């Protein structure tokens, strides 16, 4: 067993995980890996527990809000190690969590008035579910963290409360073999923790289910938007510049007319898709997310089409209007498909299946729409 | 909310099952049920292939190709030739 706190977390989880394609993602924003760019963690004596409160301050709430918009997420990391909530003793429960600050805050804020140990694993600032999928919230890191915090010397019992969503990375029987601690998988939601602790570490079936209520769907909208924004702005700028082209040479009038309107419509399409698909998810027709997105786009295209019909020339030439009617459902289908990563019930096999059909169609339709739009410039 | 039918790779080898109920505990989508002291699949199509049951079945009765269903992750993986990425704000639940 290694003694360095950082070198084991990159190891694969103990059970082979074939084709690890991704983990609970939502959007490309996630790719700026927190792993290597996090702030240096101060060197504390590993075994000294860190006292921590249970009330969230304004700063915690503001930080959470910023993180939801993708701002400052790189510093949203808690130091891994053992934390003391209240005045825990050798009989106090031990809860295991991730070192993503949102997760950490959620857990500690549920433990007001209690004495407990909070064992924070080094998940590189990623929440439990995502980290478990990657294996950073896993058996190796848990066993390792138990050793360097010498938890076995602080508590008499051998019970660990691990969030149920961590089960994707934590193998309970292996933890027991290697550390002597028995893993009790706790509830999915931190808010059920007090009840779980008070009812002898038992969950109701309800506490074990993962759902995807509107509140959680909405909270993930900003990060989807931030994730796609850069490419959207680039594409919008490209439209503005290209719109000047035409049979009569380059026209600035068209840049400010067709170009600007096209750019706005593109951004509007993106924003509408990224917010409506998550909001309306359960009610949109179809099971596949690409289909749900395409339906959203079909309704949006109908609205845009009606506008263009009542105000001819709004979308440029008729050819361009057709381009938009093709493009809007295609773009929203893509946005919908990308939302699979944020959802809590899509399987890898299912996503692969829908992508095999959807992606070629999306490329075809988007290509056709782009050609028509360009053709429209030369037919006015 | 249900995802696509007949796509998941989850398999349960009933002969190996020792009835420990661990899969019922870890599964976030209530896929399992006990019948005659053995686990059975009650809603196989609800499986999201997270792999928690396979990892925690000491009897080795469960197999699933695990991974997370995330289109942008898959696309990124293909484009970069690496594993796909993770977003640290999508919290699942809490
Ligand atoms: S975890 Fe494995 S052995 Fe235990 S009940 Fe489920 S299938 Fe059977
Ligand atoms: S892979 Fe995950 S969702 Fe599927 S049955 Fe196992 S625990 Fe449940």
One domain, residues A175 and A222: no
Residue A30 pLDDT: 34
| CA A239 to ligand 2 center in whole angstroms | 45
A224 in the same domain as A147: no
Contact criterion met (CB < 8 Å) for B92 and A191: no
Residue B74 lies in a domain: yes
A183 and A319 in a single domain? The answer is no
In a domain, B6, yes or no: no
Picking from A181, A210, A239, the residue at the C-terminal end of a domain is: A210
Q: Which residues contact B1 (CB under 8 A, 6 or more apart)?
A: A212, A281, A282, A343, A345
In a domain, A172, yes or no: yes
Ligand 2 centre to CA of B26 (Å) is: 8
Residue A118 sits at φ, ψ, to 5 deg, of -120, 110
Regarding predicted confidence, which is higher, B86 or A36?
B86
CA of A351 to the centre of ligand 1 (A): 27
Expressed as residue numbers, the domain containing A350 is 215-379
Query: Taking CB atoms and an 8 Å limit, are A211 and B69 in contact across chains?
Result: no
What band does A336 get if pLDDT is binned at 50, 70 and 90?
very high
Assign residue A48 the CATH number of its domain.
Answer: 3.40.50.11600
- pLDDT: is B18 or A24 the higher one? B18
For the Cβ of B31 lying below 6 angstroms from any atom of ligand 2, the answer is yes
Out of B8, B48, B87, closest to residue A27 by CB: B87
Q: What is the ipTM of this complex?
A: 0.85
Least confident interval from A110-119, A244-253, A324-333, B43-52: A244-253
Question: How many angstroms does the Cα of residue B20 sit away from the middle of ligand 2?
Answer: 16
* B67–A220 CB contact, under 8 Å: no
Which chain B residue has the Cα nearest residue A136? B86
Of A30, A205, A287, the CB nearest to B87: A30
Alpha-carbon gap, residue A26 to A218, rounded angstroms: 12
Do residues A194 and A266 both lie within one domain? no
Give the mean pLDDT of A134-153. 93
Overall domain count for chain A: 2
Q: In Å, how far are A138, A170, B9, B28, B67 from B46, measured between CA atoms?
A: 24, 22, 12, 10, 15
Residue A209: per-residue pLDDT: 87
Q: Is residue A9 part of a domain?
A: no
Residues A230, A168, single domain; the answer is no
* Residue A71 pLDDT exceeds 90: no
The whole-number pLDDT of residue A272 equals: 94
* 3 state SS for chain A: CCCCCCCCCCCCCCCCCCCCCCCCCCCHHHHCCHHHHCCCCCCCCCCCCEEECCCCCHHHHHHHHHHHCCCCHHHCECCCEEEEECCCCCCCCEEEEECEHHHHHHHHHCCCCCCEEEEEECCCCCCHHHHHHHCCCCHHHHHHHHHHHCHHHHCCCCEEEEEHHHHHCCCHHHHHHHHCCEEEEECCCHHHHHHHHHCCCCCCHHHHCCCCCHHHHHHCHHHHHHHHHHHHHHHHHHHHHHCCCCCCCCCHHHHHHHHHHHHHHHHHHHHHHHHHHHHHHHHCCCCCHHHHHHHHHHHHHHHHHHHHHHCCCCCCCHHHHHHHHHHHHHHHHHHHHHHHHCCCCCEHHHHHHHHHHHHHHHHHHHHHHHHHHHHHHHCC
So what's the pLDDT on residue A72?
59
Asked whether residue A229 falls in the same domain as residue A200, the answer is no
Q: For residues A179 and A221, state if they share a domain.
A: no
Residue A47 pLDDT: 67
Tell me, yes or no, whether A64 lies in a domain.
yes
The residue whose CA has the least distance to atom 8 of ligand 1 is B17
A46 pLDDT band, cuts 50/70/90, is low
pLDDT tens-place string over residues B34-55: 999 999 999 999 999 999 999 9
Contact A50, A79 (CB under 8 A): yes
Chain A CB contacts of B3 under 8 Å are 287, 345-347, 350
d(CA A132, CA B70): 15
Model confidence over A346-363: pLDDT tens digits?
A: 998 999 999 999 999 999
> Which ligand sits nearest to residue B46's alpha carbon?
2
Res. A309 pLDDT band, cuts 50 70 90: confident
Name which residue sits closest to atom 5 of ligand 2, judged by CA. Answer: B47
Domain boundary among A167, A188, A210: A210
Helix, coil or strand: residue B8: coil
Give the nearest chain A residue to B45 (CA atoms).
Answer: A347
Instruction: Kindly tell me the sign of the dihedral angle through the C-alpha atoms of A289, A295, A296, A300.
Output: positive
Q: Are the CB atoms for B12 and A358 separated by under 8 Å?
A: no
Both A199 and A341 in a single domain?
Answer: no
Distance, CA of A293 to CA of A44 (rounded, Å): 49
pTM over 0.90: no
What lies within 8 Å, CB to CB, of B89 at 6+ separation is: A26, A67, A68, A70, A73, A102, A127, A220, A223
User: According to the model, what pLDDT value does residue A220 have?
Assistant: 84
Contacts of A215 (CB under 8 A, 6+ apart): none
User: Is B61 inside any structural domain?
Assistant: yes
Q: In this structure, are A167 and A230 located in the same domain?
A: no
Best residue among B21, B36, B47 to mutate for probing ligand 1's pocket (most ligand atoms within 8 Å of CB) is B21
Nearest CA in chain B to A164: B26
A228 and A202 in one domain? Answer: no
Longest dimension (CA), chain A: 85
What pLDDT sits at residue A380?
65
B85 in any annotated domain: no
Q: Quick check: A26 and B84 CB within 8 A? A: no
Q: Which residues are registered as beta bridge partners of A50?
A: A83
DSSP B44: G
Residue written as token pair 């359960």 = A282
Nearest chain A Cα to B23, which residue? A167
B58 touches chain A (CB under 8 A): yes
**Residue at B60 is within a domain:** yes
Q: Between A309 and B92, name the one with better pLDDT.
A: A309
Dihedral angle, C-alpha B54, B85, A138, A63, nearest 10 °: -130
Q: Which of A51-55, A162-166, A341-345 has the lowest mean pLDDT?
A: A51-55
A225 and A163 fall within a common domain: no
What number of C-beta contacts closer than 8 Å exist between A and B? 251
Q: Give residue A127's pLDDT.
A: 85
Does the pLDDT at position A132 exceed 60?
A: yes
Evaluate whether residue B57 is within a structural domain: yes
Band of residue A42 on the pLDDT scale cut at 50, 70, 90: very low
Are B83 and A130 spatial neighbours (Cβ–Cβ below 8 Å)?
Answer: no
B52 vs A14, residue with greater confidence:
B52
The Å distance, Cα B61 to ligand 1 centre, comes to 6
In a domain, A15, yes or no: no
Model pLDDT, residue B42: 94
Rounded distance between C-alpha atoms, residue B53 and residue A294, angstroms: 34
Question: Residues A252-301: pLDDT tens digits?
Answer: 888 888 899 999 999 999 999 999 999 999 999 999 999 999 999 999 99
* Shortest Cα–Cα distance, B59 to chain A (Å): 10
Q: B50 is in which domain, residue-wise? A: 11-80
Q: Looking at A169, A193, A210, which one is the last position of a domain?
A: A210
A156 vs A96, A97, A126, A175, A201, CA distance in Å? 17, 20, 30, 17, 17
Q: Looking at residue B5, what DSSP letter applies?
A: S
The average pLDDT across A36-55 equals 59
The rounded Å distance from CA B18 to ligand 1 centre is 6
In Å, how far from its chain's centre is CA A39? Answer: 21
User: Residue A190 in contact with residue A106, Cβ under 8 Å?
Assistant: yes
Mean pLDDT on A57-71: 76
Which range (A81-90, A239-248, A309-318, A357-366) has the least confidence?
Answer: A309-318
B79 touches chain A (CB under 8 A): no
- For residue A357, tell me if it sits in a domain: yes
User: Mean pLDDT of all residues in chain A?
Assistant: 83
For the domain that residue B37 is a member of, what is the CATH number? 3.30.70.20
Is residue A8 one of the residues assigned to a domain?
Answer: no
Average pLDDT over residues A315-338: 92
Is B53 domain-assigned? yes
Is there a single domain that holds both residue A86 and residue A177?
yes
* Of B4, B25, B49, Cβ closest to residue A208: B25
Lowest-pLDDT choice from A22-26, A72-76, A152-156, B68-72: A22-26
Does the pLDDT value for residue A22 go beyond 60? Answer: no
Quote the radius of gyration of chain B (alpha carbons, Å). Answer: 15
The whole-number pLDDT of residue A116 equals 94
Query: Quick one: which atom of ligand 1 is closest to the CA of B32?
Result: 6
In chain B, the number of structural domains is 1
Q: Phi, psi at residue B22, to the nearest 5°?
A: -60, -40
- Do the domain assignments include residue A32? no
- What mean pLDDT is predicted for residues A114-135? 89
Q: Do B56 and A173 touch (CB under 8 A)?
A: yes
Question: Per mean pLDDT, which range of A190-194, A267-271, A317-321, B86-90 is the poorest?
Answer: B86-90
A29 lies in some domain: no
Rounded mean pLDDT, A325-331: 95
Q: Please, which pLDDT band fits residue A195 given cuts at 50, 70 and 90?
A: very high
pLDDT(A146) > 80: yes
CA distance A66 to A73: 8
Q: Tell me the pLDDT band of A18, cut-offs 50, 70 and 90.
A: very low
Ligand nearest to the CA of residue B20, numbered in listed order? 1
Q: How many angstroms separate the Cα of A164 from the Cα of each of A36, B8, B71, B94?
A: 27, 21, 24, 11
B22 lines ligand 2 (CB under 6 A): no
Residue A4 confidence (pLDDT): 41
Low-confidence ranges of chain B (pLDDT < 70): 80-94
Average pLDDT of span A170-187: 95
Query: Is the residue at B69 inside a domain?
Result: yes
């Amino acid at each position: 067993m290694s003694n360095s706190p950082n070198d084991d977390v990159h190891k694969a989880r103990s059970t082979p995980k074939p084709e690890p394609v991704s983990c609970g993602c939502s959007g490309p924003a996630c790719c700026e890996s927190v792993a290597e760019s996090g702030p240096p963690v101060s060197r504390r004596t590993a075994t000294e527990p860190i006292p921590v409160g249970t009330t969230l301050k304004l700063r915690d709430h503001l930080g959470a809000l910023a993180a939801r918009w993708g701002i400052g997420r790189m510093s949203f990391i808690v130091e891994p190690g053992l934390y003391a909530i209240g005045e825990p003793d050798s009989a106090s429960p031990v809860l295991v969590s991730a070192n993503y600050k949102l997760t950490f805050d959620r857990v500690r804020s549920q433990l007001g008035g209690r004495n407990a140990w909070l064992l924070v694993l080094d998940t590189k600032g990623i929440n439990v579910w995502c980290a478990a999928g990657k294996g950073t919230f896993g058996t190796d890191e848990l066993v390792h963290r138990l050793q360097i915090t010498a938890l076995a010397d602080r508590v008499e019992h051998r019970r660990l409360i691990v969030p149920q969503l961590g089960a994707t990375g934590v193998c309970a029987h292996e933890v027991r073999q290697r550390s002597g601690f028995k893993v009790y998988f706790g509830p999915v939601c931190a808010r059920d923790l007090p009840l779980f602790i008070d009812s002898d570490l038992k969950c109701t079936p309800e506490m074990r289910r993962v759902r995807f209520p509107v509140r959680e769907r909405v909270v993930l909208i900003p990060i989807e938007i931030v994730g796609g924004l850069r490419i959207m702005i680039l594409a919008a700028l490209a439209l503005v510049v290209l719109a000047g082209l035409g049979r009569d040479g380059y026209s600035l009038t068209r840049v400010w007319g067709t170009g600007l309107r096209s750019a706005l419509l593109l951004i509007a399409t993106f924003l509408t898709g990224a917010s409506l698909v998550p909001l309306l998810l359960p009610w949109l027709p179809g099971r596949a997310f690409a289909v749900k997105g395409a339906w959203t786009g079909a309704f949006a295209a109908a609205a845009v089409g009606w506008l263009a019909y009542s105000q001819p020339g709004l979308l440029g030439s008729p050819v361009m209007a057709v381009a938009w009617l093709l493009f809007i459902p295609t773009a929203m289908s893509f946005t919908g498909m990308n939302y699979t990563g944020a959802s809590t019930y899509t399987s890898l096999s299912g996503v692969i299946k829908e992508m095999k059909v959807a992606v070629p169609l999306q490329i075809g339709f988007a290509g056709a729409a782009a050609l028509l739009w360009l053709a429209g410039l030369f037919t006015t | 909310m249900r995802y696509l039918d007949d796509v998941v790779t989850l398999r349960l080898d009933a002969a190996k099952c020792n009835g420990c109920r661990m899969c019922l505990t870890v599964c976030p989508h209530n896929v399992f049920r006990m019948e005659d002291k053995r686990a059975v699949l009650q809603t196989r199509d609800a499986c999201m292939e997270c792999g928690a049951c396979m990892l925690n079945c000491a009897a080795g009765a469960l197999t699933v190709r695990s991974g997370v269903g995330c289109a942008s992750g898959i696309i990124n993986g293909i484009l970069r030739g690496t594993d796909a990425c993770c977003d640290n704000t999508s919290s699942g639940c809490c």
